[in-house]
Chains A and B, each alone.
Chain A
Amino acid sequence: SAVISQKPSRDICQRGTSLTIQCQVDSQVTMMFWYRQQPGQSLTLIATANQGSEATYESGFVIDKFPISRPNLTFSTLTVSNMSPEDSSIYLCSVEGQGSSYEQYFGPGTRLTVT
């Protein structure tokens, strides 16, 4: 199994500012995934982060708005830039189970409110 931690767990930010969310995994993983869950909505994949290469973004998400770093095999950051109230969401980090594990693990999430 994989244990994922995220920092911060929640934050309230002013519009126009940026917030960097950290994701730490207790084991080395090849790919890390960032998801967004808007209030009352489902989860949507933002991007896939591979160590040593640029993140791959899904349709509707761009690097300028959501820059991602992946400096090593256990850590990644997602920055929400130039925030607006529409960015108020839960942001979740996710990794695949290793070996015979069939789980897709999710972190506890970062609850962001933009005022």
Chain B
Amino acid sequence: EVQVVESGGGLVQPGGSLRLSCAASGFTFSSYAMTWVRQAPGKGLEWVSTIGGSGSSAYYADSVKGRFTVSRDNSKNTLYLQMNSLRAEDTAVYYCAKEAKLYSSGWIWGFDPWGQGTLVTVSS
């Protein structure tokens, strides 16, 4: 079964740091890009970051650029999100997702599956 499971969330003070992890199983981890998406309480989905399968390319939302770093350890089938200089507006459930390659009149990328999410609360 293809599965991703996040961990590492919690309560952190403004300006603090936290590292999220996402353990993957059931697929060849190094062959797929992986993505972090967050959802603030009662709000919609916000793409945060994507990293390529080899880890050599990474992309960030403007809202987290320079503060968050995405990485991966393909030997451990694990994705990470290092979050520094956290702000109250970073409070959200953070999901990791595999960027699946699907065929529909050509190759399409979609997020599937998603993990259950891990809650990050930034508050003093």
Bound pair: A and B? Answer: no
